[in-house]
Amino acid sequence: MILNGDSIRMPVYSWVVRAFGVTALCLAVLSGLGGCSASDAVGNLTLYPVKGKVLLADGKPLTTGRVTLVSPQKGLEFSGPIGPDGSFSIGSGEKDGAPEGKYLVRIDSEAVKVPADGNPKKRSAALSVPGKYTDEETSGLTATVKAGQNNLEPYKLVSEVRARRR
C-alpha cells in the first residue's frame, strides 16, 4: 500500500486481482444456479399418466374448464383441459402426467361463451360449477397418483345449495 497524505491507495495490480476474484466467484455461483429453473425441475420428475372425468350434479359431463392437481408440499401444479365429454388428462405443459403423490384438486371453469345466435340454452355447462370447486382448499376433491396408469374416479360436482341441506 502507498500512503498519500491521509488516504490509503492500493496499487493497481492488487485491485485487478481482487476484481478478478470477485468476478470468478460470481460466475461460479451463477453457473451453479443455471440448472435450477422450474421447467428443469418438472423435466427431471418421473410422471405417470392421469386421466379422469368431471360430472355435474345431474350426471351430465362438464364440457369446458380445467382440472388442476396441486401439491402444496412440493409447490407444484399439474393440469389439463376438460373435453366436451367431461374427460381430462393431466400434464405439466411439457409432459403428460404427474409425479407420485397426494394432491388437492381444483376445477376452473372457462369463460362462458354465448353463441352468435344468442340462444341461452347453448351456453357452456361451466355456469353450473359451484364456487367451492375453484379453490383446492375448499373443493374437498383429492387425487392420489401412483406409479403406472392412473384412471381417477369421476369427480361429481354437487351444487352448494344441495350440499348445505345435508
Q: What pLDDT score does 43 carry?
A: 67
Domain count, the chain: 2
CATH code, 88: 2.60.40.10
Q: What pLDDT score does 91 carry?
A: 83
Is 161 found in the same domain as 108? Answer: yes
User: Can you give the pLDDT of all 166 residues of the chain as single tens digits?
Assistant: 555 555 555 555 554 455 555 555 444 444 444 444 444 556 688 999 999 999 998 999 999 999 999 999 888 999 999 999 999 999 866 789 999 999 999 999 875 455 566 554 444 444 567 889 999 999 999 999 999 999 999 999 987 654 444 4
Is 155 found in the same domain as 135? Answer: yes
Is 10 found in the same domain as 48? Answer: no
Is 97 found in the same domain as 25? Answer: no
- Distance, CA of 93 to CA of 84 (rounded, Å): 20
Is 24 found in the same domain as 8? Answer: yes
Is 70 found in the same domain as 146? Answer: yes
Q: What pLDDT score does 130 carry?
A: 84
The per-residue pLDDT for range 10-49, each reduced to its tens digit, is 555 554 455 555 555 444 444 444 444 444 556 688 999 9
Q: What pLDDT score does 37 carry?
A: 42
Is 145 found in the same domain as 160? Answer: yes
Is 65 found in the same domain as 120? Answer: yes
Residue numbers of the domain that contains 77: 40-165
Is 93 found in the same domain as 46? Answer: yes
Is 92 found in the same domain as 136? Answer: yes
pTM: 0.64
Is 86 found in the same domain as 105? Answer: yes
**Exposed e or buried b per residue across 12-38, where buried means at least 16 C-beta atoms within 10 angstroms of its C-beta:** eeeeeeeeeeeeeeeeeeeeeeeeeee
Is 55 found in the same domain as 22? Answer: no
- Helix/strand/coil percentages in the chain, nearest 5: 25, 30, 45
Question: 3-state class of 24 per DSSP?
Answer: helix
Q: What pLDDT score does 44 carry?
A: 81
